[in-house]
Amino acid sequence: MKISIKNLSGKAAGELEVKFALIENGRGTQAVHDTVTAYRAAQRSGTAKAKNAGEVAGTNKKPWKQKGTGRARAGSFQSPIWVGGGVTFGPRPRDYTKKISKSTKALALRKALTERLKAGDVVVVDDLKLASAKTKDFVNVINALELTGTTLIVSGGEENANLTRASRNIVGVTLTTGDSLNTYDVLRPDKLLFSKSAFEKVEARLNKE
């Protein structure tokens, strides 16, 4: 499969042959599901906690004697049925991490990128080095490349700081590198903008599967 390369003005600058094997059948769908589920689960902090009867402040003294007061029996101020008492079966700190093998992650990324390539949602430019850090200049680049909706910019990592500064104030535009690109990143935005070097780094990762 070949994809066209553009410059920052939106003009053709050559072609790029995709060097990783595209997935032509339904293989990889479950890998994508498992990988995205694991990624989103890992974003959960798991720090929610409620105190049980043994952890709330209070004394172990019996509120009143067992019999003769006319009131219901009570054994503790920390009882869950009392205001200020402990919580029964409340949330406890936990780890939501799900283990996914490296091969499953690689398959999921290849599947996701294959589908985005087939849909025409991937744009590759020869270089992402910007002459200035002005946001309006980068907006002109986005318009020239006809990138509508949310966009993920995937750089090779060697671009100057102007790219980070120019893109960070644009709503719907996020930035990552070819080394850290994951399946969730590929699926989330409407468009993917790669530099040529970034796309080659992702290809190298996928060819190690």
Kindly tell me the burial class for residue 182, based on how many C-beta atoms sit within 10 Å of its own C-beta (0-12, 13-18, 19 or more). Answer: middle
Q: Which has the closest alpha carbon to 199: 144, 131, 117? A: 117
Q: Locate the domains of the chain by residue range.
A: 2-44+98-206, 45-95
- What CATH number has the domain spanning 2-44+98-206? 3.40.1370.10
β-strands 12-17, 122-125 pairing: unpaired
Q: What residues have CB less than 8 Å from 198, skipping those under 6 apart? A: 128, 154, 155, 156, 157, 177, 178, 181
The phi, psi pair for 135, rounded to 5°, reads -60, -40
**What pLDDT score was predicted for residue 9?**
85
- Let me know: does 117 contact 18? Beta carbons within 8 Å: yes
Reduce the DSSP state of residue 119 to 3 states and report it. coil
Find where tokens 């590198």 sit.
177
C-alpha distances out from residue 97 to 34, 46, 92, 106, 180, Å: 12, 10, 15, 18, 19
**Dihedral (C-alpha) 153, 155, 159, 161: value to the nearest 10 degrees?**
40
**What pLDDT score was predicted for residue 25?**
82
**What pLDDT score was predicted for residue 10?**
83
**What pLDDT score was predicted for residue 169?**
87
Reduce the DSSP state of residue 170 to 3 states and report it. coil
pLDDT per residue, tens digit, the chain (209 aa), is 888 888 888 888 888 888 888 988 888 999 999 999 999 999 999 999 999 999 999 888 999 999 999 999 999 999 999 999 999 999 999 999 999 999 999 999 999 999 999 999 999 998 888 888 899 999 999 999 999 899 999 998 776 788 889 888 899 999 999 899 999 999 999 999 999 999 999 998 888 76
